[in-house]
Every structure is written in structure tokens, then in C-alpha cells.
Amino acid sequence: MESENKEKERIVPTLIITSVVLIIISFIAPFLFTKLKQFENTGQIGDTIGGLMNPFIALAGVFITFLAFYMQWKANKIQITLFNKNQKEQTNLLKEQMFFRLLENINQRVINFTHTEENASKSELVSYKALDYLIKRFFYKIDYKCIWLGRYLFATIPEKLDDDIYYRILSISNTRETSSKENMQKLKQSLITLESFDKRWEYLKTILGSTDTTNKEINQTLKSIGNIEFYKIDFSIKENIYISTYDELYKDYGGFMDGYSKNISYLINFIDQVENNEFFIDYFKSNLSTQELILVYYFCASRRSTQKFRDQIKKYEILNDLHLARESFIDSPSQHQLENEIENILKKSINR
């Protein structure tokens, strides 16, 4: 490319020098040629001089005309380059303005978010305090669903549960059997032998009571089992827990959750279409609070998020530092456990 530009730059001086030489030759040629012997009997000297000079002058004129067109073309090219550069700068400026405006819209949604607590004082939570309350609601709802999860695990994968879990169940069961190794093995084998999910589910009712039991000890034990096994079991078992939890909270906070998710989806999609967007994505990530990251996490886990959105979250590593807030999740997962959970959440949904 550089050699090509250098060759183009040589055209102008070459044409100028050639034109000057031709014009000089046009003046010298009559003198030289009329002195030759074969021109001793020529006609009028004016015709001879004109005939000798005109071709050189005409050829020089052609070169000079071409040079004029070339200079005009080059000037136009410079103008087009400057225009395109100016257009690109204007476009980049508009993109920057749009980015900061979209980011400001998201920040304002959080700042204007309010929640009134249902208590005697009717106290109102505002902005990030309200968002923090919403995130805690996610935690408590999923934590409560772990009661169902604990029972569900006995009905689906009894052979994979540790023996100490069966000891704990025997200690609170309605059968009043002792937590001996023999009784533990008997209970475990009984569930495995039944094979059918429905039969196991019904059998568990004789041991733990019905699914709507108010026995705190039973519910607490089942919940702790669900907590402990939460990150060990296949994601397909948990996906409906994430989906139903998001749907339930959406009924109460749909205005904020819908507006926030749409705004952040639009902003990330906007960033994704910008070339050299490292500044945009870094600045965006630096402005996300921990509560917002957790909300994005649950939005990704819900049926309301699109695969395109989850792909972009993965592409730009939006949730990479979420392990710093692991105490906000069930059973305070390790960094490795949370990374695996995020990986599963960002994959294509199983239930769709």
C-alpha cells in the first residue's frame, strides 16, 4: 500500500518535468532541424517552425491537462476522506451520547425504585435499599422452595443421596423408628425399590407427612437437604425453581423488573453493535452494583430472558465477579459452584 502511494506521488513531478522538457524542446527543435541539410530548401520558415513546435506544445498541453484533472481528483479524494472522517467522528460522538443516555436511564430506574414494607409503620424503601430488599426476596423464596426440593430429591434420586441424610430423616420421621444403620438402609432401599416417582412421593408422605405439613422440624430438615444438594444436582431439576420464583416476584415488582430488564437488554445489544466497544463494556460493568448483577443473574435464569441476551452476558463476562456476593445465594456456594451455575444458566434453556 505504501509503495502504491509513493508511485502516485511521483506522477505529479514526473508530468511537470516532462511538460517543461517538451516545451523547451519545442523552442529548440526549429533551430536544430532547420540547420540540418535536408531542410535547406524548405518553404516559409514560419510554417517550418510551427510544424516543428506544435507537436511538442500539444503533447505538453495533454500532460498539463491530465495533471490538472489528476490534481482535481486528488483534491476531491482529500475532501471525501475528510468528510468521511468527520462523519465517523460525529457518529462516534452520537454513539457515546446514546450510550451514556441509556446508562443514565438504567440508573434512574434504580434510583426511582421504591418499596413500601407491609408492616405497622408502612416504611418506604427507596433506590438501592429497595433493590436490596427485592434481591433478598429472591433468596427467601428459593430457600423456601428447597423444602419441596428436598422431598423431590428423595422421590427422584434416592440412590444418590448420602446415608447421613437418611439418618436425619429417620430422626424426625412420623414412623418413630430409631436412626439405626439397619433402619436407614431399609428406608433407602424401600425408596429405590419403588422406582416410580409417584409411588415414592406417596410413600414419603407416610414418613414425613403431606406436602403442606406445618411441622417446622421436618420442613427445616428438608430445606437444609435442598440447600446442601442445590449445586450438586442437575440444573434441569432447579430450572423451574428459578422460573417460578421470578414469575412470582414479577407479579409484585413487574413494573421495575420489566423496565430494568428491557433497558439493560437494549443497552447491551447497542454495545454489541459498536466496533471497538471495550470502553463501553468496561464502563458499563463498572457501573453495575452487586444487586443489579444478581438481578441480571435471575433474569437470565428465567424464561423471560432470551438466548441472545444470555449469549451477550457470557460474551462480555458480565457475571464473572458474582462470586464476591456468594453469601446472597443459597448455601453460600463456592466460586467454582457459582461459576458452574452461571454456565448452566447461560446455556440454552431446557424447559423451552
The whole-number pLDDT of residue 181 equals 86
The whole-number pLDDT of residue 231 equals 93
**What residue type is assigned to position 46 of the chain?**
G
Q: What is the pLDDT of residues 62-77, one digit of tens each?
A: 666 766 676 677 777 7
Q: What is the pLDDT of residues 5-24, one digit of tens each?
A: 555 566 656 656 766 665 66
| Alpha carbons 154 and 192: distance in angstroms, whole number | 9
The pTM is what?
0.73
- What residue has cell string 518535468? 17
Tell me what the pLDDT averaged over the chain comes to.
82
Handedness of CA 251, 257, 263, 266 (dihedral sign): negative
Grade residue 139 by pLDDT with cuts at 50, 70 and 90.
Answer: very high
